[in-house]
Structure 1
Amino acid sequence: MAIRVTVWGENVHERNNRIVAGIYPQGMHTTIAEALNRDPGVTATTVTLQDADHGLTPARLAATDVLIWWGHAAHGEVRDDIVDRLCDAVWSGMGIIFLHSAHFSKPFKRLMGSPCNLTWREAGERERLWLTSRNHPIAAGLPDHFELEQEEMYGEPFGVPEPLETVFVSWFQGGEVFRSGLTYKRGAGNVFYFRPGHETYPTYHDANVQRVILNAVKWAHNPAARLADPNAAPNVPVDKAPESITERGPRLHQAGEEGFR
């Protein structure tokens, strides 16, 4: 059975910026989904912020093995109840991939439990991505490094928890480096963050970037049945655990809005 992927796009820049519309006339989400659909083992569809329930109805999430999220300009417009619903799906076993500025999205910050801030500069600089985990499944079929001629710079420190594994590290023309491919486990769900993807550059048309996302989909997919109760998942945050557990320790601090980005 094919892996069922839902690509979530904010779909704001594509409608408001002529440069972005010229690069992604059907939206970044469509470009990503079309690349994934070239693999016979994947069936990818798209939803956007503007859809009812942001496209993430209970039925849609139940039919999604892996969710891909791109957001930037409208993080605050994502409803909190939809974030709750999405995180429950991850804790229950749905895989999720966050791209580029989705590092500051509500779902990513909720799952990380940290500010997720960083430094940044938009100057059309060359980015070189180095593999730091050669044998990781997300690195399959990739060279030891590849370059994007123009990208937005992200720089350390990156305010996220220590990952399970760092698959990529980026170097930029200005000299900065950044941990740009990070894996996590949240409950029964696999989480991957991948840095490249600024909207005014054709990053999601790049064959190596498309390969990373496809590999990440296959890595994030959990073939086991979704847990009926997200609270029954392993290593859930304390504020999602059953009352008998929350009584034994402090509640997880929810990250605020502080940060540079």
Structure 2
Amino acid sequence: MENTASDIKKKVGFWPKLQSASFLVVALMLSLGQWNDTKEALNSGYELFVAHWTNDIEYKRLSKLHVGQTYDYITSILGAPHASKKSKSDLYLTYYYYGDAKYQLMLAVKDQRLSGYGIIGLIPDFNVPIPFTDIKLAESSIASSYAVVDSYYSDSNNLEYYAESHELGKNVMFYNLLIGSVNYGAYTDRETEVVKALNTALDRGEEDVLALLTVSRTLSPNYFAISELEPGLMVSGLLTHFEHKTLLASK
């Protein structure tokens, strides 16, 4: 079959157009891939910025914790714990710990179920909200949050701390709240002396410690725990200075 000059011109013109279209598709695909890479880099950079300059990521992660969750579910969110130890008072209770530069998290797990958890802020501006309350850590004194002391716990030997227990009421299953101040190296001299003075009086068997208790309640809380357990069991889960340094300080 004979092709005319016009037919040849049409065929010659068709192939360059097809090649141009192919190159355009390839270019668009490459651009899309580069944009996806750029978008991932931007998202990663934003997350690093938020993590460094704010505590929002940590607050969001910790807000997912609720008493009654299974241990398997929690580890699917937080990963494997960094340390653990058995309770000396309850054979069925195990404490699990997560270390972070900004906070320490303790889980109290019984029968593979979360019976309570405690959070200790390790930096001054770790103002994580306390569930079921309008309180945030390190924003005001313990006394400004609760006018009356139900019961309190304190020590100054292997770890300096002052904490008090408050029942949250029937709307939240009568969970117990512990709120207090724990020293993992950030105490001022005054804060150390306040806790030591109270414990010295208690060790001596002094009955009237109201004045010392009042001063202790001026401390700013960096610790809270929510649980269905007896508060003393949650206090027993606090790591000593030595345990904190050996188990979590490098995390």
Task: Normalising by structure 2, report the TM-score.
Answer: 0.28
Greater RCO structure (CA 8 Å; 6+ sep): 1
Considering only CA atoms, is the larger Rg found in Structure 1 or Structure 2? Answer: 2
Q: Whose helix fraction is larger, Structure 1's or Structure 2's?
A: 2
